[in-house]
Structure formats: structure tokens, C-alpha cells
Chain A
Amino acid sequence: MKTLRNPLSRVSRSLVFGAVACLSLAGNAHAAGTTVRGTVKMPDASRSTRLYHGYWRLENGNVPVQTAGGAKAETVVVLENVKGAHPPSARTITIELGGLDARPRLVITGPGSVIELKNTGKVRHELSTPDKPEVMHLETLAPGQTRRQRFDAIGDYVIRDSEYPHIMICVLVVGTTYFSAVDDKGSFSIANVPDSTATLKVWARGKWVAEQQLETGSLGKEELTIKVVSQREREKAEQEAKAAE
């Protein structure tokens, strides 16, 4: 049976991959070293292509459903604190908002970059960074309008649309060029990482969901498995640890 793929998700994912791959190649072309590869295992609840669920989500029973794309495509692995790493160069990235979606939804860039938000749809958007309101305050973006925002400081910024909460644009301003997007199966690969201690962090669904220390020189061809625990599991583990104490 032939499986049809959602063209929108395919476009979105290819854009994200494209952006991340270009940045990765640009940053790592001059270096040679270890390739850090592995798999990110997301919790069951985070494997959905949706951020928000209703009461029901049923398969149609006739045609196989597509399980790729959507929120799943917005997972990225970043290696921080790598010896000799430098931030990506600043640039201007245009994000189109249309068809009740944003393309791309995840941007990894260097400090000083400008994000250009362009409303190509027929509905207005109210965009802001609720967690860091000093960066982007709430502002209505009417159809056809463009809003530009410069990000100077290294950090993570989540632009939300209060009218359409599923529209979540993640801007990661990093100080390293060692990062990689995660494919549908959760696999990632970061090439030419110098031998060094590093911090591997996983970004998914608008937040850092995992973090671990690495000794890149000792990895060799070993494939990492990064298991992301859900917030509920994490809270449960913390409670059990407290109880054990």
C-alpha cells in the first residue's frame, strides 16, 4: 500500500534540514575530528506530530497515517563548550507565516542575526516571546506585514502566536557551529568535532529536553543514545529520589 506524505510537512522539514545542514557545513568545513553520532529517543508523548491534542486522535482505518513532520521535525542536537568552537556568523533569516503555519519553525544562528517574520497568510498573528518579553513584546502582525527582530545574545528564544498557539518559532542563538537536526528516526550526526570535552544538549518542542557531558575524543565510532524523559517521568524520578533520601 502506498503511503502518501503531507507535502507541507515535507517542505517544512526540508527547510529545517536545509538551514541546519548549511550552517553545519559552513561552520565545520575547515576542521577535522570526531563525528558525534547517535539517536535521540523521545518519550512516547513527544513522538506525535502535534503539540496540542484534543480528546481523540483516531486512524482512518483504510490508509496508513503519516507519522513524520510536524512538531517532530523540530528537534536539534547542539554540542556546546567544544574547544575552539566559534559562533555562526550573523545573518538575516526570513520566516514566512501563512496557511496557519510558520516556515521554518526552527532556526539556529549566531549572535546578531535578524529574524524577519513575514505574514503571507490571510489572518493576523500576534507574536511575542512570552518567556522573554523584553526581547519581543506582543505585537499584531497583519497579513502582508513583516516584523524584524535582532537577536544579539546567545540563548534560546521561542516566538509564540497567542492567537494560534501551535505556531511556535524557535530561534536558537548559539556560540558553536557543532549542531545537527534530528531525522524522523531520531538520528543525528555532527562531523569534525575536535577532541574535547563538550556538553550535548537536545532541543525539542520549544525547550531543552536533555543534556549530557561528552568526551568527544573517546567516542570513536560509538553511537550515542540519548533518552529523553518526559517531564512527568522526571518529576516522578525526583520524587522517588527524595523519598529514598
Chain B
Amino acid sequence: MTPLPADVAEVIDGYCRAVDAAIGERGVDHATRAQIADDLRGQVHEMLAASPGTIDAAKARTVIARLDAPADYARQWAREPGVAAAPIGAADTRSGALGPVALGVSIGGFVIAMIAVLVGHARGAPPDIAGMIYLGTQLIAFVCGLSARRTPSGRAALICSAILSLLLLILVVNT
């Protein structure tokens, strides 16, 4: 394949970037956006190769003018069943980040509460603060995990915080 002139490549890249930005605003994950951009880039190249004459930036713009506008992709994404809420094959960026945070808060809260219990025990203090840390962090982790329940780490945080909260409840009931 002969590489395209730089100005033609720039026109194509500009269009693909605009589509990428339009669907990115809908919360579509990077891998899916890259997949769509690859298909689209391939289509533009094929359309250019099929058109007679020299390939230049003006021809690239003419070909692109025949394609759907970036806003059409954004509208399509809003209509895709379940896609706006849960992008294809992966969680959206916010849920993706929230899951590990929730898991970290759950486990971190457990560790900090245990340290607080040990330190408090050594100083002869009642374990109230440790209990508050424990319950508070598990509650935060549970809410965050619930928000990120579509991701594996979000589900793990949900289960982890639920089990740890249950353990505390059993401990409180038994004492």
C-alpha cells in the first residue's frame, strides 16, 4: 500500500478524531472507539482508492462529506440498547476507575480499623473509633462498588464490603 500524502492523512485523521470525540462524550470506552475508528479509516481509504484520479486533500474532503457526520454516531450511540448506560464490551471510564477505588477503600478501611483496634487496645481505649472507621469505609466502599457494579473490581468491592460488614455485625452481636 502506498502511503497517503500528509495533507490527505490529516483530513482523514481529523474526521476520525471528530467521530472519536463525539462517541467519547457518550462514555464509550477506548477499545470500542478505536475499533470504530479503524473500520471508518478503512472505509475512507477504500472509497478514495475506488475514486478515479489523483488522491488529494480536496478529494478526501469530498469522500468524507458523503459519510455520516460525527453527531450521527453520537445519536446512534444514544439509541443503541444498553450501550449508553454500559458501553460495548467494557465499563465506562468513570465506573472503570471507581471499581478499584471502592475495593481499595474496603480493604484499606479494614486494615486501618484493625490497626486502630490494636493501637487502641494497647492504650486501653474502647474500640469505638475503630468501629466507626470500619463501618464508614465499608459503607463508602459498598456505595462506590454499587455504582461500579458493571466492572469486576466494582463487584469485588461490593462483595468484599458486604462480607466485612457482616463480620462486624456478627462480632457485635456475639459480644
Q: Is this pair of chains taken from one and the same complex?
A: no
- Which residues in B have some Cβ–Cβ distance to A below 8 Å? none
- Which residues in A have some Cβ–Cβ distance to B below 8 Å? none
